[in-house]
Amino acid sequence: MRVSLVAAVCFLAVLTGSSCRDIRIHEHKDWGKYFEDNGIKNACFILRDNNHEAIHYYNKERSLQRFTPASTFKIFNSLVALETALAPDEQFIIRWDSIKTSRDACNKDMTMREAFRESCVNYYREIARRIGKAQMQHYLDTVKYGNMQIGNAVDSFWLNNTMQISADEQVGFVKRLYFNELPFAERTQRIVRSMMLWEDQPGYKLYYKTGQGEVDGKYIYWIVGFTERIEKVKEPKGSMNKSNERMYPYFFAENFELPVSDTSKDWAKVRLDILRQLLKEANAIPR
């Protein structure tokens, strides 16, 4: 995606109704150490601090480059399934077709919530087939999700590199999801957000979806989501907030690539470890 970061930030500004001059942009070259210390050369991270209208990033060029979304597309797929009532709720069960996958956790009847948490491709490929190409294309176009391309395979376009999206676009997407600004019902967005919640701690909540897609002999690793940092405050008399707590949202996307042959580390764990380090650096979760 050959646009400047400023242009991308201006796009996000339009979504929030703020002007480009109100948004602060910060490059953090030093954040590269978290990737480099693990032998990762091609990586990016972008974070939006909503409270301060600030964008923080590492590797501008890669943050704007589109890649296969892999399993991060389960966020979008779930939204469409719920909105069209194909799935009445997150407890919607799809029966296992008895075709074994490489992951035992996915070889059974599953609810949407279970399939989302286990990141079961077989469940979501069936969801996409039931949604159908016409409806899926309608929502891709309406949301303007990535390059909006399906190609000929409605059950694998987010896996076979037809569909592509940038880290910058992922951040804009989850920000709209957080504020119920996507063209889906509030209930639909609320359910999907609940499926993304992995950690609920006294000082923060962490929501995300991971993804891992193979392209040209490389794995593309993703984590996309948001945090809510919880701060204790003394609300003024008459405030509508009676909890004396405020939640400050931060929206993020992490992306890196490695050869498929590189099994030197547990990259799924490394991916999450790097995310935690970056979120702490950005003050998005407590140190």
Residues 72-126: pLDDT tens digits? 999 999 999 999 999 999 999 999 999 999 999 999 999 999 999 999 999 999 9
Q: How far apart are CA 14 and CA 108, in angstroms?
A: 44
Which regions in the chain score pLDDT beneath 70? 1-23, 233-244
State the pTM of this model.
Answer: 0.90
Choose, from 4, 19, 71, 194, the residue flagged as catalytic: 71
Catalytic residue flag (residue 4): no
Show contacts of 195-202: CB within 8 Å, 24+ apart: 195/78, 195/90, 195/112, 195/113, 195/116, 195/117, 196/75, 196/225, 202/230
Question: What single DSSP character describes residue 46?
Answer: E
5-281 carries CATH number 3.60.21.10: no
